[in-house]
Amino acid sequence: MKVVVVGHGPTGHRLVEALRARDDTGSCRITVIGEETRSAYDRVALTSYLTEDADLAYPAHDGEVELLTGDPAVEIDRAARVVRTGSGREVAYDALVLATGSAPFVPPVEGRDLPGVFVYRTIDDLESLRRHCAGLAASRPGAGGVVVGGGLLGLEAARALQDLGVDTHVVEVAPWLMPRQLDEGGGAMLRRHIEALGMRVHAGTPMAGLEAGGDGAVARVALADGSAIDAGVVVFSAGIRPRDELARACGLPVGERGGIVVDDACRTADPAIWAVGECALVDGQVYGLVAPCFSMAEVVADHLLATAGGAGSGARFEGADLSTKLKLMGVDVASFGDPFAGPEQGALDITYTDPVAGVYKKLVVSDDARTLVGGVLVGDASAYPTLRAYVGAELPGSPEQALFGGTEAAGGDLPGATVICSCNNVSAETIRCAIRDDGLRDLAEVKGCTRAGSTCGSCVPLVKKLLDAELTAAGIEVSRALCEHFDHSRAELFDIVRVRGITSFTRLIEEHGRGRGCDICKPVVASILASLGNGHILDGEQAALQDTNDHFLANMQKNGTYSVVPRIPGGEITPDKLIVIGEVARDFGLYTKITGGQRIDLFGARVEQLPEIWRRLVEAGFESGHAYGKSLRTVKSCVGSTWCRYGVQDSVAMAIRLELRYRGLRAPHKLKSAVSGCARECAEAQSKDFGVIATEKGWNLYLAGNGGMRPRHADLFASDLDDETLIRYIDRFLMFYIRTADRLQRTASWLESLEGGIDYLREVIVDDRLGLCAELDAAMDRHVDGYADEWRATLEDPDKLRRFVSFVNAPDTPDPSIAFTPEREQIKPVLVAGPRLEVTTR
């Protein structure tokens, strides 16, 4: 079945991901038509792109998906079942899904088209805004900015303007900020926080029009009360309107105020056409939050796959939980259920206000004060996950207990129909059934099976409570065994090896395990031994324990060749060393690519070529970059105060110091780091396992972030640190992680699973709560003192060099299945047809 998706925003992307994940038979051939030149990205995080240059792109689709970007759909021919694009392309469909999203609403006021007036919707909008503000700083220093709209996106836009150095005003027609989510008390408390940041709020005052200055660009914003605001930039963020023009033009029914009319299966009046996301009108309502839009995508994916298989689907979109929690300019804001219900709905309010602490809490309960109807939290939203889950259910205690965090009941108390994860519409009963029926035993398994907690993460604590309650009720003790050969967890094995001074896998399994080991426990033990400084990883018995990549100190690629990645600390490299890399790549015919971690990858090396390649690199002063190991990869940096006019500290020097200190440090998973020379964050430190950002007084340390498929923003651990304190805290963090983390556990998931989270970690590392700091310091000192480059040591040992052959019984014979073809003046791997000879090792 030919499926065409028009629109490649978050909802369109989610639809395709759902189709690919469930289409086991490959019945759907998918084409996506995108208006923007970029593929799908996270619109919710737009401000981070503007202020931090964050990478918002979603992961590329797996499988055969044709993606047409920068070529908008302009016409739907329903009779011929064809979509025509702006370039004249015709794309045929069996099923068409409209995921065209929405457009910003700009009220019809005078001056709306003046230069200097923007909307806040796409990355292109943000790029234009950034360029304008940069020019404004030069042409009209001190010129202010106005954001029209005090909702969620409006306040994000205001934050962005302020971060761009513009004195910012917010104009909201309603009497308080975020009127769709917050009541008057919550909006008033939020206003206090916003104005404390230096912004000015004009609430309950409509805008009358925009006035131009002498250069023809916007210069003033006139308000309905007769006042005016001097402004060199204006951003409209006053709501959205569904993008339904394609549907209108082809005769599909649309709502009176916009939106493509669909039924509860998200199907339009044409049975071959569906609509999802912000362009769809379901039961008279358009949804603008990510959770209901994703739910629509899931429903349509089920129907499309059922249609392709010749069956029907019972999936229905039954509305959505519009609860939301966010951190706005550093302020926790949340609303859940119906926060506006009153006596006419048989509801009562219970409120608490602390103007000194900036906290406002409101619960809406039934008139008998037993059932939770909704609520608002500003300044402290720690109780949000539990409170949201109890909406519509009877509270386990009094409303006063609920208001002050006393409802931390076991997950078993929640009704089965309670929606735990609103992003993915996962109920408590779905999670319980998955735990029981699929034998799930840990949080990662629950996330993978049900998707609960895998989007925004706010429900993770509650998911964990459900898991614990279900296992406890079943009388199941959660196994901590690493595998069938060891009854201990990785952290327990680490302590056994450390305390007993064990230096071999054989002794460990004889004394504390059983059998001969497996592909799970052998690499884990190898990593533990390496972390404790047990010599070269290819010495003696250790060589047989390593993963495939560690066997040859290089990353194996798809065609059986290997990549070579020399270390380039901090991204700093001399011209002479650049020349050496170029000469090596040329002489061995390697493909070269600059990585995202400020290194140069050389691809296409045969296994027998690796020693000679590395001999030349080592002679030039390079060492292993450990791209193949579960160890430190890179410490990325910007140019810092040495070159950049914004830099306040020497980020390059610090990055080099950190990379040389932690090079070769073996860990449960790979480690990445970065150092930014100022708050503009060009090195993207907050997406790393440990990240450092310069301040006027020293360094801010961020821990346990990661990018990749499931990104996590790092947590601020400590501020304004001097060099030695910064390094001491990182030493302890890394050693405590290595000592206690589970197998293949990134620092991000390790911190999430750590009881007490970042606060507990701070107690361990700073306050020495466990009395371990001296031991952790000594462990890092041993690593630094004992470091030796693995490739240099390998080149000096004939026994180790003997492993670098394709075939032990024919050491001079290269692998005949390896072939290349030229592409863009470099090599590209070609998979040769026919049987592949296997690598034989002793």
SS3 string, 4-28, reads EEECCCHHHHHHHHHHHHHCCCCCC
133 is in an annotated binding site: no
How far is Cα 517 from Cα 353, in angstroms, rounded to an integer?
A: 60
The secondary structure of residue 726, as a DSSP letter, is H
* Sequential DSSP letters for 626-657: -TTSSBEEEEEE--HHHH-TT--S-HHHHHHH
Strand 207-212 with 218-223, pairing: antiparallel
459 is in an annotated binding site: no
Give the strand order in the sheet containing 2-6.
Answer: 65-68, 29-33, 2-6, 95-98, 273-275
The secondary structure of residue 515, as a DSSP letter, is S
SS3 string, 655-722, reads HHHHHHHHCCCECCCCEEEEEECCCCCCCCHHHCCEEEEECCCCEEEEECCECCCCCECCEEEEEEEC
Give, for 826, the enclosing helix (H) or strand (E).
strand 826-831
Q: In degrees rounded to 5, what are phi and psi of residue 821? A: -135, 150
* Sequential DSSP letters for 290-358: HHHHHHHHHHHHHHHHHHHTT-------------EEEEETTEEEEEEE-TT--GGGTEEEEEEEETTTT
CA distances from 284 to 262, 287, 422, 669 (A): 9, 10, 21, 49
638 is in an annotated binding site: yes
Asked whether 91 and 82 are in contact (CB, 8 A), the reply is yes
Rg of the chain on CA atoms, in Å: 29
682 is in an annotated binding site: yes
Q: 640: burial class by Cβ within 10 Å (0-12, 13-18, 19+)?
A: buried
Strand partners, 357: none
How far is Cα 835 from Cα 406, in angstroms, rounded to an integer?
A: 65
Q: What totals of helices (H) and strands (E) does the chain contain, helices first? A: 26, 38
How far is Cα 521 from Cα 527, in angstroms, rounded to an integer?
A: 10
From the list 60, 65, 91, the residue with the least C-alpha distance to 77 is 91
> Which sign, positive or negative, has the C-alpha torsion 455, 458, 459, 461?
positive
Contacts of 170 (CB under 8 A, 6+ apart): 146, 147, 149, 150, 154, 155, 158, 177, 194, 199, 200, 201, 202
CA distances from 483 to 209, 516, 734 (A): 69, 12, 25
Asked whether 733 and 703 are in contact (CB, 8 A), the reply is yes
List the binding residues for [4Fe-4S] cluster. 638, 644, 678, 682
List the binding residues. 638, 644, 678, 682
List the binding residues for siroheme. 682
